Every structure is written in C-alpha cells, then in structure tokens.
Amino acid sequence: MNKYLAHFTTIAKHKILVGYYCCRCGQIKRGLMHDNSKFGLTEFFTSARYFQGSSSPIDKEKAEKGYSIAWQHHKGHNPHHWEWWIDNLGTRKNTPLKVEWPYLIEMICDWIGAGKVYSKETWTQAEPYNYYMKVKDSRIINPKTEKVIIYLLEMIRDHGISTFCYAVKHPEKSKVLSNYLKGE
C-alpha cells in the first residue's frame, strides 16, 4: 500500500476511535472535531511522507529535520494537546494553563486512540498510564490538570475505559473531578 493511502487509513482509524470514546464520554462535538486538521494540506502530505505505521510520522520528521511543520500546525489548531495550553507570549516563560474540561477528556481519548492504533492487539488499559508516566517529566502541564490526568489514567488502568467514560459523564460523583470543574 502506498504511504499516502496507509497514512490516510491510520489517521482515519485514529479519528474514528477517538470520536467513539469522546462520544462515550459525552463529548460528542470534540469527537466529531477531533484531528480534522490532519486531513488538510499542511499536515497530511508532510505526515504521509514520513509515515512508517508503528509510530507518529511527526517523530520521524523531527528526528530528520529537528522540527516538524506539520506538528507546529497541528498543536496550534488542536486544543486537546497540552502544548496549546502554554502561555509564553512576551514572557520568556512557559506558564501552563488549566486545560478546559472538554479538551482534557479529548486529550485522554486521543492517547487511548493513538495507543490502540499503533499498539494494535498488544494494547492494554495500562498503556495510557504507562505512556504518561514515561513522558510526564518532559511535559509542562498545569498542576491541577496533571492531578486529574493521573487520576483518570489510574482509573482506566485499574477499572477500564467504561468506568472512565462514566466518571467523566458524571463528574459530580467524584470530588477530584467536581473540584476541577469548580476551579479548585
């Protein structure tokens, strides 16, 4: 299969999975809007050129060039990425903002979808948690947001995706989630 068709198939599978989980979590709009920019010219053709099928083409482009135009475009147009929530304009600081609820849920659904697409049948419900623990020291995430991310990833790891979906649809039943929504 040529790289362009293979890349299209991979991002379509990812979009469908993330959309499915977002809808199960009550975030229908986020599920429908997820990663639409990947199908545009700026992201699609560059990513297809670096497609390998087992990991993000963005990483391969960065390894080769030291940067990725596709990634710069993607993170700037998709608030479900933590990088979108960094305020550094004119400050020379990277101040992490609290991620808004719909995008936080989409972010976690994105990690589930990416893991399932790239890991295929070896994916387990511990994978999103393990991934985050591996990369968290290289992330700049608001402490309140990080507390909820870890709480939800532990929930997925220990109790499964259905429990996660139920919990985020009913955040009032969890002190951690209801406090986050209240801004505490």
User: pLDDT tens, 81-120?
Assistant: 999 999 887 888 899 999 999 999 999 999 999 999 989 8
pTM: 0.93
H or E segment and range at residue 136: none
Domain that holds residue 54: 3-182
pLDDT surpasses 90 at 54: no
Euclidean distance between CA atoms 69 and 63, whole angstroms:
13
Contacts of 132 (CB under 8 A, 6+ apart): 111, 149, 150, 153
Number of domains in the chain: 1
Whole-number pLDDT of residue 184? 81
Percent of the chain at pLDDT > 90 equals 83
pLDDT, tens digit (0-9, with 9 covering 90-100), for 111-153? 999 999 989 899 999 999 999 999 999 999 999 999 999 999 9
Whole-number pLDDT of residue 1? 61
For the chain, give the mean pLDDT.
94
Tell me if 177 sits within 8 A of 166, measured CB to CB.
Answer: no
